[in-house]
Amino acid sequence: MRPPYPHPIIAREGWPFLAAAVAAAVLVGWLAGGWWSLPVWLGALFVLQFFRDPPREVPDDPQAVVSPADGRIVAVERARDPWLERDALKISVFMNVFNVHSNRSPVDGTVQRRWYHAGRFLNAALDKASLENERNALALRTADGVDVTCVQIAGLVARRILCYVEAGAELERGQRFGFIRFGSRVDVYLPPEAQAVAALGDKVHAAESVLARLPAHG
């Protein structure tokens, strides 16, 4: 059974930003009048949409690798997993500022390791962002012994990667584990024999869209 959704509609990370934006709009309206506060209210609406975090329906397929983020597929390729030092199938999801930025586990698995690497803030749509930008990586191992690496990558505007799990944590597919503020990217490295389902340019939704299917056994 999936855990109950802990923060309906608005992500908990957004509450301070939303409260500050609404307070600023009210203050400007009180001091200068309603028309002057309109741009601030528009800013508050942007904050509201950015931090929305709707519940999702997770596919029942036990071999499905679900998208860890909302966005657009910018890479489906054979690549080297720099974290586990292996050949892999790499699938990357780029999030713009209008996407939901809550990050979800792509598989059922145990966190084997967590790495954090400080770096640059290049446009996250660029391939070199995977190796040069600030990033946080999780190595997950499924019950079948299949290793999956999930990497949160900061972007041009994103300046904060939030990850709430450490080595030893048990995650279910679609379970929320982190958040990236204001535009970013998530890379998933899978075994080379995994079968890609998503294609370049596809729009995907975290926890719902299937990126690939894992081999039955590692």
In contact, 75 and 212? CB cutoff 8 Å: no
The token pair that represents 141 in the structure block: 């191992």
In contact, 153 and 130? CB cutoff 8 Å: yes
**Residue 184 is a catalytic residue:** yes
Q: Spot the catalytic one: 92, 102, 105, 184.
A: 184
Q: What is the DSSP string of 123-141?
A: -TTSTTHHHHB-EEEEEEE
Strands of the chain, DSSP E: 64-66, 71-81, 86-95, 102-104, 109-117, 135-141, 147-154, 160-163, 170-171, 176-181, 184-190, 195-196, 203-204, 210-213
Pairing of β 64-66 and β 203-204: unpaired
Report the catalytic residues: 184
